[in-house]
Structure formats: C-alpha cells, structure tokens
Amino acid sequence: MDDRYYMNMALELAARARGRTSPNPMVGAVLVKNGVVVGQGYHMKAGTPHAEIIALKEAGNEARGATLYVNLEPCCHYGRTGPCADAVIEAGVARVVAAMADPNPLVAGGGLKKIKEAGLEVTLGVMEDEARELNEAFIKYVTTRRPFVLAKAALSLDGKIAARTGRSKWITGPAARAYVHQLRDWYDAILVGIGTILADDPSLTARLPGGGGRDPVRVILDSLARTPLNARVIKQKSKAPTVIAVTAGAPPGRVKALQEAGAQVVVVNSGPRVDLPELMRILAEKEITSVLIEGGAEVHGSAFAAGIVDKVAWFIAPKIIGGRDAPGPVGGEGVDDPGGALELERIKVSRLDQDICIEGYVKPEYRGERPLRPQN
C-alpha cells in the first residue's frame, strides 16, 4: 500500500477549502480498504463536519478494518463539533496514517494517543513537510496567537514599485494580478497603509477570473483616522468588514464618523504610528489567522522592522522604470551593511506569463528581532 499516494490525495482534498476553514485547519481524509477508496471528505468551513466524519459517513460499514489517511491528527476535544478520534475508533478503523500531529494545545498528540490506546495501528509523519506548508497559517496562529503574515510587492526589474509620479498601475501583467486576487481569496485579511488609500482609492476585494472570490477583511493603517468617508473600502458592498487601525492621537470626531460609516475602528497604541505587533495581537483576537500585506514602501519597511513577516511574495516584471525618486518596495532606514540584510529560505521561483514570482520564508532569526528599523 502506497501511503504517500493516499496521503497526497488527502492533502489535495484538504486544499479544496483553502481560505474557507479559518480559524480551523484545512483537513482532508481518505479511507482505504483492500486497495480501494471507500470514503473521503474534507473540512469545508468552521462549524461544519470534520473531514474524518464525512469520510466515515461515506464509507459506512466499509470503514471497519480500513486505513484512514488524514493530513492532521484527528482531534480529541469538543469544540464546535465532537472529537473525531472517538468516531474513528467507534467505526472500527484498523489503521490511522497522519501527516502531522495537531499543534493545537487542546490536541497536541492526544488524538493519536487515544487511538493507539484503543488498539489501532498508527503511522505519523507521512508527507509532513507538505502538510505543514498547507496549514502554515493555522500552525502559527494556534501556537503563537498571532496571524501568519505574507508581504507582497509588484516591482519592475530595476526594483521600482511606482514611477516618480507615484503611478503604479500596472507594473505586472494579468496573470500575476490574477494570482494576487487568488491570494486575497485565500488570506483572512489584507493590510495597507493610509497612503495607498489616499493615492489609489483601492477596493481591496478578491476578484477571481469568472467572478466570485471571498473578500478578505480590509485592514488600514491610519494613525490619525484620515480615511475618506467616501473611500471604496468604506462605501463598497462586501461581506468582509473594514478595520481602521488608529492611534490614541486620532481625532475623536473622525473616529466616530468612520464608525458611523460602517468601519470598525481599533485604537492600537498611543505612539505616532500604529504598533504592528500589537495590531497582530488584536487581529488574532478577531480570529484572523492570516494577513496579506500589500503596502507601499513604508508599510513594508515597518513590517519587516517589526519582525511580523513570515513569508514574502515578490512579483517582478521585465520592465525598467528608472528614476532616482521612484520608490522601491521597502522603505525605512534599512541596514547599514548588506551583510546584515534580512534573509529568506525555502525559495520558490515561478513564471506567470512574462512576469516571475519569487516566494520565500523569512528566516526565524529575522522574525520579532527588528533586523530593519522603520523611519521615524
């Protein structure tokens, strides 16, 4: 029996719900008996049956003596639904193959322990790296109570995100822009600065090819509550709310006006700028597990300086914009020497028609340790 083959099937099932299960993980389950798939399912969204329950229901009596493949350890606690470990045991499953243990402290190996104690065979660690990448946002959220953060930028070959005039539409092509909208559909929230709102009046919605898409929560860094009341992020129809992050220095009248216009205003701190680590804590309390930063240079600079960025997606177009006054993707003071530059690992390069996308993870030592300093 090919454990990797069926685990890959479970991972593909789980990924069907990308962007829909938060704050829960994406989970797929496959039941196999005598080399035949007798049941399968995936968790569609929070509050609905878990993947294991759906697969067991489909398999019926065929679940007895079968092998269950699941990309995350079956839960053993009561949440919005009952414990899956109990259901697996009661169904008479003979063997459980899990890609990884559940990092949730409420589970943390308890599900597999219960299954083992019931006499079932357990195999752990099949395609664990792939499983961890799939649920990277859930893992960070459940272990740190902070959202997973992706910083995205679109730039020219000479490193410009806009012309010297400030105009930035469109540097990258349709394929790259379509992928960005897919990211918006997958991530719980999108974060920009007030400069982007004032300059571009963006909608910050997910517009997928053919229509559809789930809008992310729109988060605006706006220390003094300057977001116009007629801005698209305020006026447009969307199921997702707009959160305006201000400081204690924001004029009360402006704050009240934004709230009356429908925005959620959160006062983050008393300093001149919104404290990003504190904002991440507040967003996590709202069960936002992932944040896509589409900021300008100063927002990116502050985010890297604050150590909140986990992953980077840089879209590079084969264009030369030029101009000493044209902005680059990361502002702030930066480092004094290239030897101290922030470094990425696990790099992936992909082609999107004429553009390329470079994705990578910020090395752990550059998270939370302020390797770059924001401009005062």
* CA distance to 35, 105, 276, 311, 361, per residue, from 306 (Å): 51, 27, 7, 14, 16
- Indicate if 122 and 151 belong to the same structural domain: no
Kindly indicate the confidence band of residue 79, based on its pLDDT and cuts at 50, 70 and 90.
low
pLDDT at 89 over 90: yes
- Indicate if 18 and 103 belong to the same structural domain: yes
Using DSSP bridges, classify how beta strands 217-221 and 189-193 pair: parallel, antiparallel or unpaired: parallel
Kindly indicate the confidence band of residue 375, based on its pLDDT and cuts at 50, 70 and 90.
very low
The total of other beta-carbon atoms located within 10 Å of residue 347's CB is 10
Residues at the binding site for NADP(+) are 154, 170, 196, 200, 223, 296-302
Kindly indicate the confidence band of residue 30, based on its pLDDT and cuts at 50, 70 and 90.
very high
Q: Is residue 359 part of a domain?
A: yes
Tell me which of 293 and 83 has the higher pLDDT. 293
Q: Is residue 249 part of a domain?
A: no
Q: Is residue 262 part of a domain?
A: no
- Indicate if 113 and 27 belong to the same structural domain: yes
Q: For residue 90, what are the contacts with CB-CB under 8 A and spacing of at least 6? A: none
The predicted structure's pLDDT at residue 376: 29
The predicted structure's pLDDT at residue 81: 59
Phi-psi region of 298 (alpha: psi -120 to 50; beta: other; left: phi over 0): alpha
pLDDT in tens, 142-196: 999 999 999 999 999 999 998 888 888 889 999 999 999 999 999 999 999 999 9
Q: Is residue 255 part of a domain?
A: no
Distance of CA 190 to the CA centre of its chain: 10
Mean pLDDT to the nearest integer, 342-348: 95
- Indicate if 170 and 131 belong to the same structural domain: no
How far is Cα 233 from Cα 241, in angstroms, rounded to an integer? 9
Tokens at 360, concatenated = 């990578």
Mean pLDDT to the nearest integer, 272-276: 94
Tell me which of 243 and 208 has the higher pLDDT. 243
pLDDT at 80 over 60: no
Q: Is residue 10 part of a domain?
A: yes
Catalytic residue at 345?
Answer: no
Q: Which of 135, 162, 189 is the last residue of a domain?
A: 135
- Indicate if 152 and 277 belong to the same structural domain: yes
- Indicate if 98 and 167 belong to the same structural domain: no
Kindly indicate the confidence band of residue 275, based on its pLDDT and cuts at 50, 70 and 90.
very high
Mean pLDDT to the nearest integer, 25-29: 97
Q: Is residue 256 part of a domain?
A: no
pLDDT at 369 over 60: no
Residues at the binding site for substrate are 168, 184, 204, 207, 294
The predicted structure's pLDDT at residue 65: 97
Q: Is residue 129 part of a domain?
A: yes
- Indicate if 180 and 285 belong to the same structural domain: yes
The predicted structure's pLDDT at residue 108: 75
Q: How many domains, the chain?
A: 2
How far is Cα 7 from Cα 128, in angstroms, rounded to an integer? 10
- Indicate if 283 and 347 belong to the same structural domain: yes
Region of poorest pLDDT, from 69-78, 122-131, 151-160: 69-78
Residues at the binding site are 50, 75, 84, 154, 168, 170, 184, 196, 200, 204, 207, 223, 294, 296-302
Region of poorest pLDDT, from 42-51, 319-328, 336-345, 362-371: 362-371
- Indicate if 76 and 165 belong to the same structural domain: no
Phi-psi region of 253 (alpha: psi -120 to 50; beta: other; left: phi over 0): alpha
- Indicate if 124 and 69 belong to the same structural domain: yes
Q: Which of 112, 135, 158 is the last residue of a domain?
A: 135
The predicted structure's pLDDT at residue 373: 43
The predicted structure's pLDDT at residue 370: 47
Tokens at 356, concatenated = 């390329």
Residue 352's domain is classified under what CATH number?
Answer: 3.40.430.10
DSSP 3-state assignment of 90?
A: helix
The predicted structure's pLDDT at residue 17: 96
Q: Which of 91, 111, 135 is the last residue of a domain?
A: 135
- Indicate if 65 and 199 belong to the same structural domain: no
Tell me which of 357 and 296 has the higher pLDDT. 357
How far is Cα 353 from Cα 349, in angstroms, rounded to an integer? 13
Mean pLDDT to the nearest integer, 290-316: 95
Tokens at 18, concatenated = 């990308």
Kindly indicate the confidence band of residue 92, based on its pLDDT and cuts at 50, 70 and 90.
very high
Q: List the catalytic residue out of 52, 117, 128, 278.
A: 52
Q: How far apart are the first and last CA of the chain?
A: 60
By C-alpha distance, which of 26, 105, 202, 208 is closest to 219? Answer: 202
The predicted structure's pLDDT at residue 177: 93
Q: What's the residue count for the chain?
A: 376
Kindly indicate the confidence band of residue 374, based on its pLDDT and cuts at 50, 70 and 90.
very low
Mean pLDDT to the nearest integer, 300-308: 94
pLDDT at 248 over 60: yes
pLDDT in tens, 61-70: 999 999 999 9
Mean pLDDT to the nearest integer, 262-275: 93
Mean pLDDT to the nearest integer, 5-19: 97
- Indicate if 102 and 239 belong to the same structural domain: no
Buried b (16+ CB within 10 A) or exposed e, 73-109: bbbbeeeebebbbbbbbebebebbbbbbbbbbeebbe
Mean pLDDT to the nearest integer, 266-273: 91
pLDDT at 214 over 60: yes
Q: Is residue 225 part of a domain?
A: no
How far is Cα 53 from Cα 133, in angstroms, rounded to an integer? 24
Residue 73's domain is classified under what CATH number?
Answer: 3.40.140.10
Domain that includes residue 117, residue range: 3-135
Mean pLDDT score of the chain:
92
Cis link prior to 174 (omega < 30° from 0)?
A: no
Are 31 and 68 in contact by the 8 Å Cβ rule? The answer is yes
Share of the chain above pLDDT 90, in %: 81
